[in-house]
Amino acid sequence: MTTIKIHAIAITSLTVAFACFAETNATNTNGSSAPYNEGPVWTLTMIKTKTGLADEYLKQITETVKPVYERRKSKKSSSTTKS
């Protein structure tokens, strides 16, 4: 009985892993008007938006938060070049 459970868990895990890897290459963003770029994810936050307003929310966040991250990035790069 436990071997069946272990096999079922292993098969399920491999299926989910395959689906995740396949999904990363399935989308084509050429010509997309999305306000974000695809790339590695370092932090994940769940934000609930009203239906159809997700892109609008991301545009707003991009306008307000991106300059802060850019300044932080430039400060880090200037401090590493001084060392």
Which residues, including other chains, have CB under 8 Å from residue 82's CB and lie 6 or more apart?
Answer: none
Instruction: Tell me the pLDDT of the chain (83 aa) as tens digits.
Output: 788 888 888 888 888 777 777 655 445 546 677 777 777 878 777 888 899 998 888 888 888 888 888 888 888 777 766 55
> What Rg do the C-alpha atoms of the chain give, in angstroms?
20
Contact 62, 35 (CB under 8 A): yes
Distance CA 19, CA 22 (A): 5
